[in-house]
Amino acid sequence: MEYNNILIIKMSSLGDIIHALPFAAALRRRFPRARISWLVHPQFSAFVPEAPLIDEVLYFDKAAFKKMSWGEKAAYAKKMRRELHSKKFDLVIDLQGLFKSGALAYLTGCKNKIGYCQMREGSSLISRPITGSHAHDHVIERYLDVARYLGADCSKIEYPLPNLTKEETQVAAMLPDMVKPYIVMAPGARWETKQWPTGHFARLGQMFIRDGYNVVLAGAPGDGPKGTAIETMLKQGAVSQAAADMVGSLFNLIGKTNIRQLGALIKDSIFYVSADTGPLHIAAALGKPLVAVYGPTKPDRTGPYGDKDAVVLTSPIECAGCLKKHCDHWQCMAMVTPEMVYKVFKNKILSHK
């Protein structure tokens, strides 16, 4: 069946947006002449593809919505309904699978609404779940099962990323000329259980710096305290070691880049390290050599995908993959040591020098 006016609903988070990019590319290949729109939260829209892949980006401002009074929320919902109804979509695809995305799918007024296999919080009552042969595989393949259902060719994984030339110039202006080559470390993660210990980042950074590499810390403003702590630990380490041992330097850009600039920073790096967090999936989409540290989450479901130079180090603890956001005996992430990450770096980078 052919569709002429399609809406993708995928509003958050950054990593989830990146995971939906191969689906968007496959959908465009299947419907080259259709008008395709994407509904997203404004703060996560930076990597939503531009035309001709996505014709229009629509926004639901969740952050503003949360702060509204009940009367204001009702007015905002009516406004969204008018806007979405006016688009006259003939197919709505909910890749979020939550109550909020289900509600917005309902507000479109479109009769043909589908979603991916993991529809939660009642969203399956609004949009029909599509379960394919990859229902237990990586989330990217789960999304692609929806594209396959629609007749799309999904034989290749393609990340339609934006042109970051302007942002590369902006990032270069933030860093001294002598910075390259550099390694990016992103110490933040939304779940407290996904965070690799700050001390581990500091020790790893010290190893890189002694090898003559510059290290750039990256992340959102909320990760600022972690960046400060890493800087402090590295300075303390430098005091206890001969100054000559510290060949490279540390640069802290946490909270100083927007999302596209963060992408440009990662693009021009030689290596990337983080836990399971949004910037990791940018690095994977860019095909960067990287190490991803996993504990409570499952790399076979949400790990870096399609990047032959990605190495996942999963905690050896038995309860790894528990998917808990909070834990009373949290130790999984600490069990992946800086030495383990550094060994991968030596194998991937130093051995090819």
H or E element, residue 184: strand 182-186
pLDDT in tens, 255-268: 999 999 999 999 99
pTM: 0.90
Fold topology of 165-352: Rossmann fold (3.40.50)
The amino acid sitting at 65 is F
Burial class, 130, CB count within 10 angstroms (exposed 0-12 / middle 13-18 / buried 19+): buried
Share of the chain above pLDDT 90, in %: 77
- Residue 81 vs residues 53, 72, 110, 257: alpha-carbon distances, Å: 25, 14, 11, 34
Q: Average pLDDT in the 230-250 region? A: 67
CA dihedral (63, 66, 72, 73) positive or negative: positive
Break the chain into its structural domains and give their ranges: 5-149, 165-352
pLDDT in tens, 207-220: 999 888 999 999 99
* pLDDT score at 179: 74
Q: Are 192 and 279 in contact (CB under 8 A)?
A: no
* pLDDT score at 327: 80
**Distance, C-alpha 106 to centroid of its chain:** 27
Distance CA 120, CA 227 (A): 35
The average confidence (pLDDT) of the chain is 91
Fold topology of 5-149: Rossmann fold (3.40.50)
Asked if the domains 5-149 and 165-352 are classified in one and the same CATH topology, the answer is yes
